[in-house]
Structure 1
Amino acid sequence: MVDLFGHAGPAQVLERAARSGRLPHAWMLAGPPGIGKATLGYRFGRWLLAGGAEGGLPAGSAPLHLDPGHPTFRRILAGAHADLRALRPNTGEGGVKRVIRVEDSRDAIRFLAMTPAEGGWRFVLVDGAELMRPEAANALLKTLEEPPPRAVLVLTTAAPDRLLPTIRSRVRRLDLAPLAPADLDPLLMRLLPSLSTTERATLGRIAEGSAGQAVALAEGEGLAMQALVDQVLADLAGRRHWHPVAEAVAAKRDGSGFATFMALLRGALSAAVRQAARGQGAAPWLEGRALAEWSTLWDRLGQLAAETDVLSLDRKQAVLTALLWLTPPRR
């Protein structure tokens, strides 16, 4: 994805810092997964390498704008620009854990220390910086402490607290918020053109402003599982639908339906409790318990989902247990 949806404020901060002549050498773009952190990082890199900081580009309609026909834009899109490097997590030992390896970190450090091939800047984007192995993170510290001239390092992370405190203290942090519906809907129209307006709106709501999460839900029965969540919450006392719901949730042998259903169920509880606590109206089904009880139930459902996954318990029975917990207590 080369277009940026939303995040005009952070983009403007980056552009102003670059034009000021006092551009910090390291940045951290923090925010939930799938909201466009790497997209903003690439946008900044393209604009910077094309001479934007030096005033070599015409003013665009949006911050950090670079015409797609610009040679720098085309070469970066093709992965062929000599002054830009991107680090992403690789599959770790056993083929499961995704990590950024120390050898990749050291290669990026050497790259930043080299003279820019085109006489401008060197730019490194570390996408998913929280997945750096400890030795990879430590390797970056010296570069952060003694940055080479005309070199910029951008870290993106969905979990900034997992980064070393010494790294966090040496970067300029920009927090990116989830996408507003006005920004998310046109993006989903492009990414998921076959969906209806109602389906896109549902995905946007349950994905909480994350385009990446919305796409994952669309590709993994998210809409079907959300319909089951809505059905359950609309009639918490009605047990006649328990078994059909549990069977539908547990139908996939890989457990993906169960994981999605439980995540969406907990998300619905969390969103409803937040809304009620802010005085923005309470869902009718919340009235059966105090808000504190719903928060405790949210924790219990998380533990149930985790135990079912780790211990390979019966998923249908786990769903039935969850529905029993949701049933309003008798007064």
Structure 2
Amino acid sequence: MPRAGLTRFADLVGLDSVHSTLRDSVRRGQAAQSLLLVGAEGVGKRSLARAWVAWLCCQQGHEVSDACGECPACIQLAAGTYPDVLWIAPPPGKREISIERARELKRFLALAPPAGGARIAVVETAESLTTAAQNALLKTLEEPPPRTWLVLTTNAPDALLPTVRSRCQRVAVPPLPPDLMREALLRHGLSPEEIGPLLPLAQGSVGRALKLREIVSGELARTIAEFLGTIDRARYAAIARFVEELNRDDGALEARLQIMIEVLRTQALESWPERPGASRLALARAEALFRAWRTLREGYPNRSLLLESVLLEMAKAQP
């Protein structure tokens, strides 16, 4: 398990229709054994996967609406000791999931499930799988062993091979509307005063809002949201002021740029395919900021000049 504790459907906010559809498909005997959970970073894909695993493993059976939390399977899941679930993610400090881990997953699912139970493998940030690792999983995705489940989560489905995507049932995990965002963030202990400035930047992602809280003040969150919303009309003076704001706490600059990159990538994802021009523009801006972020990490000396140059180019870009 990624961390101790049991997540149940009751713990999720705003995903009732998603997990209800998944449960119904199992009860009808029509569930795909390979699922691809797709959504922006921080919208709850991992939490949904955890609750789904708990429900599948709960010994109360699939007629109940949620994991009971009290049977031996639920207790083991909560402790992180349940033997028939495998969680795979990039190792700490790494960006890729190797072919060796993919082979481990295949061996795990090939083992006989427990009597009356199932074996489940979850791959977090599946876009981190190397091409070789993705190819190694194709046979398992297409013909999973009986009584096994394979769940992939991703916020970048296009980074997966088409042959991987086509072998999975795609499950969209949507961003939360503002009222449910407030409810979720209140559950996390944020005050209403803290929540307000975070909502425009968080774009329905609880995980992003919590990350934002750590690296930006409420005022700076407002400034970033306003700048990204009006960047196509920004002039040099406004860009210079914005860069000065970003640079106020030098140690947090790279994290703040990552937030901006995530926001633009989310805009690209949500604009496609209805507004392809806007989607491509948001993605191009995200890529430009990512290149700047990488250059800063390599020790570029004049941070302000680099950012001003990149943001000016972003402002001039057209769909």
Kindly state the Cα deviation for residue 172 of structure 1 after the two structures are TM-superposed: 0.9
1:260 is the counterpart of 2:256 = yes
* Counterpart position of 2:74: 73
Aligned partners of 1:129 and 1:163 also within 8 Å: yes
* Counterpart position of 1:310: 295
Aligned partners of 2:59 and 2:73 also within 8 Å: no
1:36 to 31, 44, 49: 44
Aligned partners of 1:105 and 1:140 also within 8 Å: yes
* Counterpart position of 2:205: 210
Kindly state the Cα deviation for residue 213 of structure 1 after the two structures are TM-superposed: 0.8
SS at match of 1:99: coil
Higher CA-based Rg: 1
1:139 is the counterpart of 2:127 = no
Structure 2 Cα separation of the partners of residues 229 and 41 of structure 1: 31
SS at match of 1:89: coil
Aligned partners of 2:254 and 2:293 also within 8 Å: no
Structure 1 Cα separation of the partners of residues 312 and 179 of structure 2: 38
Identity of aligned residues (%): 31
Structure 2 Cα separation of the partners of residues 201 and 177 of structure 1: 20
Aligned partners of 2:201 and 2:225 also within 8 Å: no
TM-score (norm 2): 0.76
* Counterpart position of 2:97: 100
Aligned partners of 1:30 and 1:176 also within 8 Å: yes
Letter aligned with residue 40 of structure 2: P
Structure 1 Cα separation of the partners of residues 262 and 116 of structure 2: 52
* Counterpart position of 1:151: 148
| Pairwise CA RMSD | 3.8
Unmatched 5+ stretches in structure 1: 279-291
Kindly state the Cα deviation for residue 11 of structure 1 after the two structures are TM-superposed: 0.5
Structure 1 segments of 4 or more deviating over 6 A? 230-233, 235-238, 241-244, 295-298, 322-328
1:46 is the counterpart of 2:63 = no
Aligned partners of 1:112 and 1:123 also within 8 Å: yes
SS at match of 1:107: helix
Question: Number of residue pairs matched?
Answer: 294
After TM superposition, the structure 1 = structure 2 runs for residues 97-136 of structure 1, keeping only pairs within 5 Å, are 97-136=94-133
TM-score (norm 1): 0.74
SS at match of 2:26: helix
Structure 2 Cα separation of the partners of residues 205 and 318 of structure 1: 26
Structure 2 Cα separation of the partners of residues 113 and 209 of structure 1: 38
Structure-2 change in CA distance of 1:209 and 1:222 (3 Å): farther
Letter aligned with residue 7 of structure 1: L
Structure 1 Cα separation of the partners of residues 130 and 123 of structure 2: 13
Unmatched 5+ stretches in structure 2: none
Aligned partners of 1:246 and 1:319 also within 8 Å: yes
- After superposition, the C-alpha distances for 1:268-302 in whole angstroms (9 at most, x for unaligned) are 9x98xx99xx9xxxxxxxxxxxxx99x97995696
After TM superposition, the structure 1 = structure 2 runs for residues 232-243 of structure 1, keeping only pairs within 5 Å, are none
Structure 2 Cα separation of the partners of residues 114 and 265 of structure 1: 41
Kindly state the Cα deviation for residue 104 of structure 1 after the two structures are TM-superposed: 1.7
Aligned partners of 1:102 and 1:135 also within 8 Å: yes
Structure-2 change in CA distance of 1:89 and 1:175 (3 Å): same
Kindly state the Cα deviation for residue 73 of structure 1 after the two structures are TM-superposed: 2.2
